[in-house]
Structure 1
Amino acid sequence: MKYLLYIFICLSTIATLAQDIDVPDTPVVDSLYREDQVYVGITFNLLGDKPSGFEQNGLSAGIQAGVIRDFPINKRRNKAIGIGIGMALDTYNQNLLIATQSGSETSTFAIVDESVENVTNRFTSYTLEMPLEYRWRTSTATKYSFWRIHVGMKLGYVLRFKSTYQDDVSDITSSDIPEINKFQYGPSFSFGYGAFNFQGYYGLNTLFNDDALLNTEKVGIQVMRLGLVFYFL
């Protein structure tokens, strides 16, 4: 009997102590929160301002990833400036053959004959990207699914560009193409809710400079990307 009394006294004491513990009703809120600081995107790549006879074929796609520092500019922190850095890998399947001799200052551009079978012809670019964005969102410090609109510019530097052509008898790869415009730039946007967000980019300058000629016509070519982007943190 005395053991039951002892257990009862212990349980009563624990219950009394538990009532005295100050447990907050709500979690601690980070009043200095930031949003969308890591991104991963996928795009479908389109080409415009094309020379005569130029056509895309097959799937041209890209993937991007990077980090963006979020700088809120109002007390509510739903408006911000984003400055970041990232990498983009893009492929373009098309019918423009580029041949560059090692050490040459010019390349030869030609349209692949439609009669040639089993052709693989693509451009591949690796670009260092620097996004600059104005950001608006409906987020709060405790709300993790929200509407967002980001608009701004993307500055890019092409670290590597490769043209690959293969058919049943030929295999031509050109990676040191002097006519490439290394610096790329253009407006960008993204909008959406929660995890799924649409994104777009339109290059204001051409992929090739004025020295790139198809016969006597400038090759030019402007890049447009449309796809999805996912944000974290």
Structure 2
Amino acid sequence: MMLRTLQAIFFIVCLFLSVNIMAQGNDEPIKVVDERYLEDQFYIGVGYNVLFERPDELNQRNLSYNLQTGFIKDIPFNKKRNFGVGIGLGYAINAYYSNLVASEQDNMISYEIMGLDDFNRSKLATHSIELPFEVRWRTSTAEEYKFWRVYAGLKFSYVFSGRSKLVTQDWNDSFSNDHIDQWQYGLMLNFGYNTWNVHAYYGLNSLLTDDAQLNGNPIDLNVLRIGLIFYIL
């Protein structure tokens, strides 16, 4: 009797373990879907600066580059979370190489156009804090991480450091240029699919103030920026 009881208990235990193992084997991991997801909140970009509205004799040379990075708060407006706005804070470095040469003497800044063979590099360089505002549309979902995006809006920039630099074969000259307009603003458009996105920006005001003059005329330099922008999260 005792032997039969032990055999029955052993059989029940084995049956229970077998059923439990089979049940565990059939279980699929539970996928958690975040219905309140946010997208594209960190960004980094690189681009090329083109100067427009410039004097006829002014020519660009070397690589006039742009580097930017920052954070944008994603604010969806609809239930699908594919339409909304973005408000951000960023940092940018811009360099503009040309044959426009700035020089400082007795706290006065003057400008001239020089031949390309007369110097090695003439540069305007800026460091700025940026405030982008975007209207955002995309094809993302809570489970789809590869999607189309079109972000358009305005960007305001505060230039906290602006310098002119001239490099020749014999000497270098660099100074803080107060003629670089501290407040820059313009239209921007970012669009693309997945990792690769085109960034375009056009400045609505001149890079230089009216105090920067060439032959008695203000030097109007509007910036067109074309490059790539990469989003994270």
- TM-score, normalised to structure 1, is 0.89
C-alpha distance 11-83 of structure 1, shift in aligned 2 (>3 A): farther
| Correspondence for 1:14 among 17, 24, 39 | 17
Cα shift at 1:60: 1.1
The aligned residue for residue 112 of structure 1 is 114
Rate the CA distance shift 1:11–1:61 in 2: closer, same or farther, 3 A. farther
Counterpart in 1 of 2:95? 91
Counterpart for residue 5 of structure 2:
none
Task: Name 1:68's counterpart in structure 2.
Answer: 72
Q: Specify the alignment match of 1:39 in structure 2.
A: 43
Give unpaired runs (5+ residues) of structure 2: 1-7
Matched, 1:51 2:52: no
For structure 1, which segment, 186-195 or 52-61, has the greater mean C-alpha deviation from structure 2 after superposition? 52-61
Q: 1:77 to 1:115 in 2, by over 3 A?
A: closer
Q: CA deviation at 1:26?
A: 4.9
> Structure 1 223/17 Cα, relative in aligned 2: closer, same or farther at 3 Å?
same
Take 1:134 and 1:15, find their aligned partners in 2: how far apart are those partners? Answer: 57
Match for residue 174 of structure 1? 175
- 2:37 aligned counterpart, secondary structure: coil
Using the TM superposition, give the Cα deviation of residue 186 of structure 1 relative to its aligned residue in structure 2, in angstroms: 0.5
TM superposition outliers: structure 1 runs of 4+ over 4 Å: 5-12, 20-26
Q: Could you state the TM-score of these two structures normalised by the residue count of structure 2?
A: 0.89
Q: 3-state DSSP class of the match of 2:16?
A: helix
Residue 132 of structure 1 and its aligned partner are, at CA, apart by 0.1
Rate the CA distance shift 1:8–1:229 in 2: closer, same or farther, 3 A: farther
Query: How does 1:195-206 map onto structure 2 within 5 Å?
Result: 195-206=195-206
- Identity level (%): 36
Q: Secondary structure at the match of 1:30?
A: coil
Q: Aligned residue for 2:4?
A: none
Query: The residue matched to 2:36 in structure 1 has which SS?
Result: coil
Q: Tell me if structure 2 keeps the 8 A contact 1:51–1:218.
A: no
Cα distance, 1:115 vs. partner?
Answer: 4.2
CA distance in 1, matches of 2:14, 2:148: 50
Aligned length: 225
Deviates more, 1:133-142 or 1:162-171: 162-171
Residues 183 and 230 from structure 1, CA distance in 2 versus in 1: closer, same or farther, beyond 3 angstroms? Answer: same
Give the residue type in structure 1 aligned to 2:212: A
Deviation of 1:89 after TM superposition, in Å, equals 0.8
Tell me which amino acid in the other structure corresponds to 2:196.
F
User: How has the CA–CA distance of structure 1 residues 109 and 27 changed in structure 2, closer, same or farther, with 3 Å as cutoff?
Assistant: same
Provide the secondary structure at the position in 1 that maps to 2:20. helix
| Structure 2 counterpart SS, 1:100 | strand
Deviation at 1:218, TM superposition (A): 1.2
* 1:17 match: secondary structure: helix
| Residue 131 (structure 1) aligns with | 132
Structure 1 segment 21-32 matched on structure 2, within 5 A: 23=27, 26-32=30-36
Pick closer, same or farther for the CA change 1:37–1:17 going to 2, 3 Å: same
Classify the secondary structure of the residue corresponding to 1:107.
strand
Secondary structure at the aligned position of 2:169 is classed as coil
Higher Rg of the two aligned structures: 2
| Unmatched runs of 5 consecutive residues or more in structure 1 | none
**Residue of structure 2 in register with 1:156 after alignment:** 157
Instruction: Indicate how the Cα distance of structure 1 residues 20 and 174 shifts in structure 2: closer, same or farther if over 3 A, else same.
Output: closer
Q: Structure 2 vs 1, CA of residues 189 and 161 (structure 1 numbering), >3 Å: closer, same or farther?
A: same
Q: Is the 8 A contact 2:180 2:207 kept in 1?
A: yes
> What's the Cα RMSD here?
2.3
Give me the whole-angstrom Cα distance separating, in 2, the residues matched to 1:122 and 1:15: 77
CA distance in 1, matches of 2:224, 2:161: 19
Does structure 1 retain, via aligned residues, the 8 Å contact 2:162–2:178? no
Q: 1:7 to 1:38 in 2, by over 3 A?
A: farther
2:104 is matched with which residue?
Answer: 100
Once the 2 structures are TM-superposed, how far is the Cα of residue 20 of structure 1 from its aligned partner? 7.1
